[in-house]
Structure 1
């Protein structure tokens, strides 16, 4: 009789420890197959922060090399909160020729007796408990004579992953998918970004996409770069200083108000593990530009200054100019920024980078 391990969860997102548990089911527990059963909504959690489609796509990426693991969409297809008891009854009824066990993490033991129809459930199926931490509810294990197993444990959690912790241990393809789809954005920036800045960032992402469409640039890259351009805007000066000291001390000589562009780029590269250099570079340059501006760089620079909520005098004319001729619009915005900076701070205080950018693009010092 074929032995099947049922592995349920939100998988929001799936991570390395989920995969290691699945591998252990095959290698150590000798199951023939592992059926991964993503929940539509976990009964013990709030609404998922990602779509069903996204969670399924991430699971496909994570399991692509495991031919013994398959994704079953039974719970998702119900489009409602699912209980393990109902799923177990369904699988046993539909596949009476198979022997099923249910996989769970030791972190679920504290609520185990609260599961729906628990007394019937515990009689319906064997549970295999994988030890997520050293401390777990031994009382429940003993009470129900549960089997426990160790595995290659990185002590990850989906919550930690969503909050940028331990990304170096995450599945690279899944992390890239999360970054390229701007997933978990609010969770990742809300502690250091106020509501006004958040909606400005969303607007810049939308404007960047519009400009990308007009200039035959990758729309997704433009949206990502525009949306994340101010990711470090509300960092404390102390935190930004630490970042620049670690990555490029020379940038400390630039005016403090433009530090966030450099810090944001390093933050995305080092903490989000963004691997797209074009996106990182455009965020790095979005405040003061550079002598080497790609089309994407110009798009993000301009989108920041003409986004939908901007209402300063002359912004409508600048929007029209940028949309009709990106480089000409970029030069006009750069010229305005340079003149305003000198008026506010004097030429000795506006920083080397802005002067170099201005001299190259406006004065023609090439």
Structure 2
């Protein structure tokens, strides 16, 4: 099976993530997309990153009714910090029957040369890239492993959602209803 891996902190998961995952599962050769919840991105500071298991649960709530999108906790079980090449290698060894493709924004493609063993990623895995504002022409965009997709451009960010919640603004329609209820019930991002 051809599986796309969309890594993220999902702090919180929002409709932008789901639109990207849905697009990739329905408008590319991918058969499924796994949202890989990352405990801690090696390039980011902790900031207001909430509990990993709350983020995992929100991702699961958001994808309960999606037959082509699943949630993976693989990085929670691997040594920290999480490096994409280590996760890809682990998944390829654990599931040799699957072909894994990395899904990333054009902002991440622009900084891919800073990633651990990025040349190994380009050599062994396909990468599907979705557009992000201000990152149209990454140097690695012409690499044979890279496919630039026509995914709808999303300017919605988890940072905006967290800030809106902290300011007691309504975030309905930015996150799935089940995720919003979870955030409210647990009083997250206040």
TM-score range, shorter chain: 0.7 to 0.9
Q: How does 1:302-341 map to 2 (within 5 A)?
A: none
Is the aligned partner of 1:59 residue 2:64? no
Distance (Å, rounded) in 2 between the aligned partners of 1:149 and 1:167: 28
Please say if 1:170 is aligned against 2:169.
no
Q: Which has the larger radius of gyration?
A: 1
**C-alpha separation between the residues in 2 aligned to 1:135 and 1:122?**
19
Q: How does 1:1-366 map to 2 (within 5 A)?
A: 2-47=1-46, 49-78=49-78, 80-133=80-133, 135-143=135-143, 146-164=146-164, 167-171=171-175, 172-185=177-190
Higher relative contact order (CA 8 A, sep 6+): 2
SS of 2:70's equivalent in the other structure is strand
Asked if 2 retains the 8 angstrom alpha-carbon contact of 1:40 and 1:78, the reply is: no
User: Deviation above 6 Å: which 4+ runs of structure 1?
Assistant: none
**Which runs of 5 or more structure 1 residues have no equivalent in the other structure?**
186-366
Partner of 1:163: helix, strand, or coil?
helix
Contact 2:25 2:69 in 1 (8 A): no
* 8 Å Cα contact 2:9-2:41 kept in structure 1: yes
Evaluate the alpha carbon distance shift between residue 160 and residue 166 of structure 1 in structure 2; reply closer, same or farther with a 3 A threshold. farther
Distance 1:3 1:119 in 2: 21
Mapped partners of 2:125, 2:111: distance in 1:
17
How many Å separate the matches in 2 of 1:103 and 1:7?
5
Alpha-carbon distance in structure 2 between the residues aligned to 1:3 and 1:19: 18
Change (3 A) 1:31 1:144: closer
1:290 is matched with which residue? none
Give the Cα–Cα distance (whole angstroms) in 2 for the partners of residues 135 and 41 of structure 1: 23
Gap runs ≥5 in structure 2: none
Q: Number of matched residues?
A: 184
SS at structure 1 position matched to 2:81:
coil
Q: Partner residue of 1:333?
A: none
Task: Quote the RMSD (CA, aligned, Å).
Answer: 2.0
**Contact kept? 2:125, 2:145, Cα under 8 Å:** no
Structure 1 residues 114 and 166 mapped into 2: Cα distance closer, same or farther (>3 Å)? farther
TM-score by length of 1: 0.47
Deviation (angstroms), 1:129 = 0.3
Alignment partner of 2:111: what SS? helix
* Contact 2:172–2:180 (Cα < 8 Å) also in 1: no
With normalisation by structure 2, the TM-score equals 0.87
| Cα gap change, 1:108 to 1:100, in 2 (>3 Å) | same
